[in-house]
Amino acid sequence: MSIAAPGQLNVNESPSWGSRSVDCFEKLEQIGEGTYGQVYMAKEIKTGEIVALKKIRMDNEREGFPITAIREIKILKKLHHENVIKLKEIVTSPGPEKDEQGRPDGNKYKGGIYMVFEYMDHDLTGLADRPGMRFTVPQIKCYMRQLLTGLHYCHVNQVLHRDIKGSNLLIDNEGNLKLADFGLARSFSNDHNANLTNRVITLWYRPPELLLGTTKYGPAVDMWSVGCIFAELLHGKPIFPGKDEPEQLNKIFELCGAPDEVNWPGVSKTPWYNQFKPTRPMKRRLREVFRHFDRHALELLERMLTLDPAQRITAKDALDAEYFWTDPLPCDPKSLPKYESSHEFQTKKKRQQQRQNEEMAKRQKMQHPQQHTRLPPIQQPGQHAQMRSGPNQNLHGSQPQVAAGPSHHYGKPRGPSGGPGRYPPSGNPGGGYNHPNRGGQGGGGYGSGPYPPQGRGAPYGSSGMPGGGPRGGGGSGYGVGAPTYPQQGGPYGGSGTGRGSNMMGGNRNQQYGWQQ
């Protein structure tokens, strides 16, 4: 270890993060709210630049500085890419109060620590759920290419995102898409020898290897999530809306077929394979179910939703897929339409207003138009989706299974009218995945879930967090989203009652059952 003599120059060029106070910014409005943190839209006083301020609150003394925040900061500090959210700096607020003993040298961070991000107007889920929103094919290609480019950059830099989902993909009004919320991300080494927690990635986007208990995994986990998003963009709704892990696996098997040693060598060695292997033969039905998709899109999706992670397409190869190089080509982000910027806090008001309108319309016996249906992309007539037939249909009828409360992104407030299904082109009224969790909150890129609460969080936001749910609490782009893993404890046991020591690992006791 080298020792610098006193008085030696400090060669650190840039001003240290944390050297500036949050007072350098003027908070314009709160755009997200969570138990553990708030997100503000703010203006840097000196430059007038609009930024997003995410407050990191440290309520849990035993945990100290949230691990998710440390990880997010250290990873974002290293990543500089146009498709990765930019963490501009960290600012602190000393807070007015002195410490407990009233000592003058109290905690200078007591007032809070804020992460300063570039401001983004939307998130993908929020945008997709806008009333009347219909992405074009070049638009989807454009978003997908940016998503893959950003992810490829992360993977090249040996970072796994581990929470790819629509609400973590922020979009600005220039059409740029950026990966956000690196609170679950971590570095990996190429040999994949590390044992990592399998309790990552929001359930609906979680790959089969994690659901089967694998702890050695790599970038392929993110690619599964990308496949889910891709299919969702084309299909118009989430394709695997499982309510718990067993159901999640079942949904995957129903579409992608059951894994066996032929299509996925080694699968029978995964920790929970015997527990969850399908009891009946299940054929891969991806091509059949999505036969209306464009040929190249289907080809790419096939390779993303490959059960065996070793055979799953990489981000780099996906970028080379025919899909991105055949007509219609991905559009220039700048050519995309600009959408009115909106955030949860703002849209709450709007929704309230809308609800009143709907009520009024009802009273006037008028048929209020169904506004909140997410539409599949614009494509040639006759190409629209047939809803999947099969057992899933019953699971997600018009009857919401879980009342999660308002959750997301410009969704339709679960109002009085049942209305037609969300995907009218299918001619399948009321059927399909009319998922309850999509009702509610506006989105727009700013998260509002908490930094992960200690211990378990319920997958559908029943833990009392605003806007919980697998898609991230109320839009979580800036990473204050609801926790990803639904449960702690053994494989899907959900038995953990103790506190998790942190969101990455949970409580050792829960994991290993020391108490037993």
The catalytic residues are: 163
Tell which one of 16, 275, 335, 495 touches other proteins (CB under 8 A): 16
The residue range among 221-229, 329-337, 344-352, 506-514 that interacts with other proteins, by the rule CB under 8 A, is: 506-514
For residue 437, what is the DSSP state?
A: G
How far apart are CB 263 and other proteins at their closest, in Å?
28
CB of 65 to other proteins, least distance (A): 5
Considering only residues 48, 96, 100, 363, which one is a binding residue for other proteins as defined by CB under 8 A? 100
Work out how close the CB of 33 gets to other proteins at its nearest, in angstroms, rounded to a whole number: 24
Instruction: Tell me the C-alpha distance between 192 and 92, whole Å.
Output: 37
**Interface pick for other proteins out of 43, 93, 107, 118 (rule CB under 8 A):** 107
By C-beta, is 188 or 293 nearer to other proteins?
A: 188
Nearer to other proteins, 59 or 288 (CB): 59
Buried b (16+ CB within 10 A) or exposed e, 300-309: bbbbbbbbbb
| Part of the chain binding other proteins (CB under 8 A), chosen from 13-21, 35-43, 248-256, 327-335 | 13-21
Query: Of these, 17, 273, 324, 339, which contacts other proteins (CB under 8 A)?
Result: 17
User: Which residue of 94, 397, 494, 498 would you call a contact of other proteins, by CB under 8 A?
Assistant: 498
Asked if 183 contacts 163 with a C-beta cutoff of 8 angstroms, the reply is yes
x/- track of binding to other proteins for residues 49-88 (CB under 8 A): ---------x--xxxxx-x--xx-xxx-xx----------
Task: Write the CB contacts of 117 (distance below 8 Å, at least 6 apart in sequence).
Answer: 51, 52, 53, 54, 85, 86, 87, 88, 180, 478
1 binds other proteins (CB under 8 A): yes
Nearer to other proteins, 11 or 262 (CB): 11
**Residue 6 in the binding site for other proteins (CB under 8 A):** yes
Beta strand spans in 332-381 (E): none
SS3 327: coil
> By CB under 8 A, which span of 106-114, 120-128, 286-294, 359-367 interacts with other proteins?
106-114
What 3-state class would DSSP assign to 88? strand
Q: How far apart are the first and last CA of the chain?
A: 45
The residue among 464, 358, 350, 360 whose CA lies nearest residue 410 is 350
Separation between Cα atoms, residue 144 and residue 378, nearest integer Å:
16
What's at 231, amino acid-wise?
A
Q: Which amino acid is at 179?
A: L
Q: Which of residues 447-476 bind other proteins (CB under 8 A)?
A: none
State the minimum distance, in angstroms, from the CB of residue 95 to other proteins: 13
Does the footprint of other proteins cover residue 511 (CB under 8 A)?
A: yes
Answer for the pair 153, 159: CB distance below 8 angstroms, yes or no.
Answer: no
Q: Quote the DSSP letter at residue 384.
A: P
CB 5, min distance to other proteins, A: 7
Q: Which of residues 169-208 bind other proteins (CB under 8 A)?
A: 186-189, 191, 193-197
Q: Which stretch binds other proteins (CB under 8 A): 263-271, 331-339, 340-348, 492-500?
A: 492-500
Give the integer Cα–Cα distance in Å for 165 and 181.
Answer: 10
Q: Whole-number minimum distance, CB 193 to other proteins, in Å?
A: 5
Cα separation, 307 vs 264, in Å, equals 7
Q: How many CA atoms lie within 13 A of 507 on its CB side?
A: 20
CB of 101 to other proteins, least distance (A): 10
Of 101 and 279, which CB lies nearer to other proteins in the complex structure? 101
Q: Which one of residues 7, 96, 337, 381 is an interface residue with other proteins (CB under 8 A)?
A: 7
Say whether 348 counts as a known binding-site residue: no
Distant-in-sequence, close-in-space partners of 9: CB < 8 Å, separation ≥ 6 = none
Count residues near other proteins (CB under 8 A). 61
Contact in structure between 31 and 120 (CB atoms under 8 Å): no
Q: What are the structure tokens assigned to 121, written together?
A: 């107007």
Closest CA to 222 of 117, 316, 85: 316
Amino acid (one-letter) located at 319: L
Select 380 or 515, whichever has its Cβ closest to other proteins: 515
Residue 174 Rama label (left phi>0; alpha psi -120 to 50; beta): alpha
Binding flag, residue 5, other proteins (CB under 8 A): yes
- Please tell me the distance from the alpha carbon of residue 459 to that of residue 128, in angstroms, as a whole number: 22
Nearest to 54 by CA among 481, 503, 483: 481
Closer to other proteins by Cβ: residue 87 or 170: 87
Whichever of 109 and 339 has its CB closer to other proteins, that residue is: 109
Of the two residues 191 and 327, which places its CB atom closer to other proteins in the complex? 191
CB 308 within 8 A of CB 220: no
From the list 288, 322, 325, 512, which residue makes contact with other proteins (rule: CB under 8 A)? 512
Amino acid identity, residue 382?
G
Binding-site sequence positions for ATP:
54
Q: Binding site residues, as ranges?
A: 54
Residues lying near other proteins in the complex (CB under 8 A): 1-12, 16-18, 58, 61-65, 67, 70-71, 73-75, 77-78, 90, 92, 100, 107, 109, 113, 186-189, 191, 193-197, 215, 497-499, 501-502, 504-509, 511-512, 514-515
